[in-house]
Amino acid sequence: MALKFYSYPKCGTCRKAKKWLEENGVTFEEVHIVDNPPSKDEVVKLYEKSDLELKKFFNTSGQKYRELGLKDKIKVASEDELFELLGSDGMLLKRPIVTDGKTVTVGFKEETFEETWKNGN
């Protein structure tokens, strides 16, 4: 299965990650995270496969995150409420999110991509 690469074209980090995937010959399907955001159920599945804390899925430097005052809300909200938020707006999700259906990475760190996605996983 080709990787699913959730990204936002104007995001510099996403462009770096995309360039890395292309330079390393990794096949992927790009999904515009704002036009086609993962649903709440998809976010739950991504989270379950990621081994990350749920708060790592939030784009904490995003304007929307600040507008909604999520810094304090995520400390007290239920997991279900957080999934609901993440599934409601692609701009709230940290990006890029890359998955092969078994493994998930959030954000771009070259070392992580080397370990996880080099050689098509």
Domains in the chain and their CATH numbers? 3-120 (3.40.30.10)
pTM metric for this prediction = 0.93
* pLDDT one digit per residue (tens) for the chain, 121 residues: 689 999 999 999 999 999 999 999 999 999 999 999 999 999 999 999 999 999 999 999 999 999 999 999 999 999 999 999 999 999 999 999 999 999 999 999 999 999 999 875 5
6 closest CA partner among 120, 111, 110, 87 = 87
Please name the residues in contact with 62: beta carbons below 8 A apart, sequence gap of 6 or more: 91, 92
Assess contact for 87 and 94: CB atoms under 8 A.
Answer: no
67 phi and psi angles, rounded to 5 deg = -55, -40
